[in-house]
Structure 1
Amino acid sequence: MTKLVNSARGIAADVAAGRTNAVETAKAALARIEAAKALNAVVTVDPARTLADAAAVDDRVRAGETMPLAGVPVVVKDNIWVAGWRVTQGSRLFADFVAPEDAMAIERLRRAGAVVVGIGATSEFACKGVTTSQLYGPTHHPLDPALTPGGSSGGPAAAVAAGLVPLAIGTDAGGSSRRPPAHVGVTGFKPSYGAIPYGPGFAEPFFGLSVIAPIASEVADIALAFEAMAGADPRDPDSAVIAPQAENIAGLRIAFSPRLGLDVAVDDIVADGLASTVDRLSAVGLRIMQRDPVWPAGATEDAIMPLQHAGLAALHGDAFRKDPSIFDPDVARQIERGLSWSGAEVAGALVASAAVASAFAAFLTEMDVLLTPTVPCVAWPLTQLGPDMIGGKPASPRGHAVFTPFVNHARLPAISIPCGADPRGLPFGLQIIARRGQDRTLLGAAQRIEDLLRK
């Protein structure tokens, strides 16, 4: 497999300067995708459409147009609308669906000069912590094909990690574009809810939680993509204007919470790696104090999961009743569970979600940035929903996902950057969290931390 050797910023600069062009860049990306078919990270390609789009970018360059993402090849997750492309949500229900228009984020990326070269694999309806579907089968970890890259944005994350493209676009409703990047050793950014306009697209089972999430190898490329996509749009009533970056990034109040204030298991290699990372950052002058958020009684992912189950049941319950076999068995169980929840139980999950959001907001009035693990473990066999053991204890199927969902329920921005690996070379990540609307400050802090860790 040929590895990509340039960043999104480098490609855009080369295309703008005439050192290369968008068509040749797209052809190279398509060749890498073809050579990496066994990875199953990219499930749909349309070379004729891609090369026509690339030729249009070259025409714009020749006409003197300035584009921040000129010619940058992008993989888009299989639940985001890309006009004229087959987009399936990894579901047999949508196996023949062709998106009638671009999602606003994709529209903005294309306006900035990006070229879609493929559709990245997702679990069905983006509702599993591994990336597999009845339509396409499993996506493999780039470092070990017997392992999963996690989910649900495993295809986009694996595509970046394998060097197929410098930039991919996922979604994140509970960690789907932070955990897979952590498992494969790249960077994934979950913006504040509303920072990037959402839709038009598929109806969401997540009720105000899911965001468009860029994935790349470097924070600078993440920031470039974010600036191309961010900003209010009247078509999305939840979209919002995002604050400018804080002037004094070096003076931010930074907390480190080894377990996010939760009673959860973490593998020693991850716990020790995060502690060592924090020590390194403290040694070069960052002001970091250990402090945990204080959560309301009963705050667990189990308390808020009825929202996902009920959302799936509301959207797909009728199809499930007609033919359960058309669904991924793990998703089918979620739909069945959602059909059984009472209105009072779903309302209770909404109350729990709001309590988590309030607790997180209170914590971030005292601190500017919070550091936590992204994942408590490294990647596991792709035949399992999660690892059997974490931290020497038997793990539930969602034990690998404990550090990300509360961020979504609080609508906060968070980013995962690589910070270590186990003896086999399997990566894990550092999650960096900030107040809602402080996306640019978070990206500035992440850039500083990335720079310090690379020294």
Structure 2
Amino acid sequence: MTTPLRAVTLAGAVRGGRSSARAETEAALARIADGNPALNAFVAVHSDEALADADTVDRRIAAGEHLPLAGVPVAVKDTIWVAGRRVTQGSRLFADFRAPADAIAVERLRRAGAVVLGMANTSEFACKGVTTNPLFGPTRHPMDPALTPGGSSGGPAAAVAGGLVPLALGTDAGGSSRRPPAHVGVVGFKPSFGAIPYGPGFAEPFTGIAVMAPIAADVADAALMFEALAGPHPRDPDSAAVAPAEDRPAASLTVAHSPRFGLDALMDDDVREAVDSGVEALARAGVRIVRRDPVWPAGVTETALMPLQHAGLAALYGDAFRRDPGLFDPDIAAQIERGLSLSGAEVAAAQLLGAEVARALAAAFDGIDLIIGPTTPCVAWPLDRLGPETIGGQPVPPRAHAVFTPLFNHAKAPALSLPCGTGRDRLPVGLQIVAPRGMDRRVLRFAAFAEETLAAGRQGSHP
């Protein structure tokens, strides 16, 4: 698996005149031409527009502008509006859609000097745990083309892990930009709800929890991207400022290790061992680790909350489904059909449960600064399946791989997936780091410390 040039380094080189935005864009386009056919991470590459944008960046640098992301090539998930570009959501319904405007996050990427190269693959409407859709087919894992990177931001994650671009912008409404990064060995950061303005763009099936999510090769790059994107905007009434950076060493934090985040969930031994090993390394480095689980409302599972997604899909696309069910990915069609069958009371019950989840997580941080545990209970699985057939040696339903991420969306809290060793076949494992809502910079600061600590441990074990 190729490691891309870090965004921090690349932007510094462009700002310092040691490279140019055009040169970096041309190099990225060459990497995509060489590497993307095997991955199908990009579904559209806009070479002419990207080179023109790169030339604009170079002129801005020459005029004395300070651009934090100067010349950094970026992939944007094919659900996020980029003005004038074809943005499809992986759906036949939007096969010819051209975005009338940039999403605010894309505006801010451009303002910071980034160059949008093209659109990265997603599951249809970003509502599936693998990355495949009727328009573009599957994205493949950079380490093994027989495996999936997961979903729904599998295209952005594979583009970064495959060395095509240093940064990608995904979305996350249930783990879509944490699980794929965990599976391919990069960093995926789900900010607090509202930390990065959302829209203008497509209506979300899962309202009130979806966020824009930086994906990067390391924490420093994810933090650089976050700082370029974060902050309220008058066009997004849900956007809000988050807490400033804290000047607290990692050893002063109290960190709860929650091996299954308080859920009755199956987990593979290789993933558990990798996460436990990472937690032990942090403890040896002086982090105050305690054992504590969140106490969730009775009956809380992702399944209990899924009526919100199914009802949202039905509200948005139910009429089109009734006219022609064959337009949709069969798995998405099944979700729409379930949504059409739900009662208002069932949807309201899921909304109420989501609010209880948020209160439960807030209570879990009493005396605790961070909670850490696994991002996923398993490593990547074969490309032709919705999920692994077994976890923990037992047969599981297709969404069992997604158990550890969605509750933090409903709690609107920041959560980051950090590479944390490997499991079977040397496939990557992710450590998930969670903080109270608004404490995004605490997550990033601790993740940088954890990244350095885990890297030092790996080097020490291989002299």
TM-score, normalising length from structure 2? 0.97
1:69 aligned partner, one-letter code: L
Structure 1 match to 2:122: 122
Alignment of 1:210 with 2:210, yes or no, is: yes
Structure 1 match to 2:166: 166
In structure 2, what is the Cα distance between the partners aligned to 1:274 and 1:289?
A: 15
Note the 1:28-427 alignment, pairs <5 A: 28-36=27-35, 37-250=37-250, 251-427=252-428
In structure 2, what is the Cα distance between the partners aligned to 1:271 and 1:239?
A: 36
2:308 aligned partner, one-letter code: L
In structure 2, what is the Cα distance between the partners aligned to 1:52 and 1:397?
A: 44
| Deviation for aligned residue 1:390 | 0.3
Asked whether the 8 Å contact 1:76–1:168 carries over to 2, the reply is yes
Q: Give CA deviations for 1:303-344 in whole Å, capped at 9, x if unaligned.
A: 100000000000000000000000000000000000000000
Q: Give CA deviations for 1:202-252 in whole Å, capped at 9, x if unaligned.
A: 011111010000000110000000000000001000000111122213211
1:59 aligned partner, one-letter code: R
Compare 160-169 and 239-248 and name the one that shifted more. Answer: 239-248
| Deviation for aligned residue 1:5 | 4.6
TM-score, normalising length from structure 1? 0.99
Structure 2 match to 1:454: 455
| Deviation for aligned residue 1:423 | 3.8
Structure 1 match to 2:7: 8
Structure 2 match to 1:442: 443
SS in 2 for 1:366: coil
| Deviation for aligned residue 1:302 | 1.0
In structure 2, what is the Cα distance between the partners aligned to 1:291 and 1:242?
A: 26
In structure 2, what is the Cα distance between the partners aligned to 1:53 and 1:151?
A: 29
2:312 aligned partner, one-letter code: G
1:81 aligned partner, one-letter code: W
In structure 2, what is the Cα distance between the partners aligned to 1:46 and 1:5?
A: 20
In structure 2, what is the Cα distance between the partners aligned to 1:192 and 1:131?
A: 24
Asked whether the 8 Å contact 1:78–1:87 carries over to 2, the reply is yes
Asked whether the 8 Å contact 1:255–1:290 carries over to 2, the reply is yes
Asked whether the 8 Å contact 1:417–1:450 carries over to 2, the reply is yes
Asked whether the 8 Å contact 2:54–2:71 carries over to 1, the reply is yes
In structure 1, what is the Cα distance between the partners aligned to 2:249 and 2:298?
A: 34
In structure 1, what is the Cα distance between the partners aligned to 2:388 and 2:302?
A: 17
SS in 2 for 1:319: helix
Structure 1 match to 2:460: none
SS in 2 for 1:188: strand
| Deviation for aligned residue 1:295 | 1.1
The list of structure 1 runs, each at least 4 consecutive aligned residues, that deviate by more than 3 angstroms after superposition, is none
Q: Give CA deviations for 1:105-161 in whole Å, capped at 9, x if unaligned.
A: 010010000000111000000000000000000000000001000000000000000
SS in 2 for 1:424: helix
Q: Give CA deviations for 1:34-81 in whole Å, capped at 9, x if unaligned.
A: 112221000001111110000100111111111000000000000000
In structure 2, what is the Cα distance between the partners aligned to 1:189 and 1:238?
A: 19
In structure 2, what is the Cα distance between the partners aligned to 1:88 and 1:141?
A: 22
Structure 2 match to 1:19: 18
Asked whether the 8 Å contact 1:4–1:165 carries over to 2, the reply is no
1:322 aligned partner, one-letter code: R
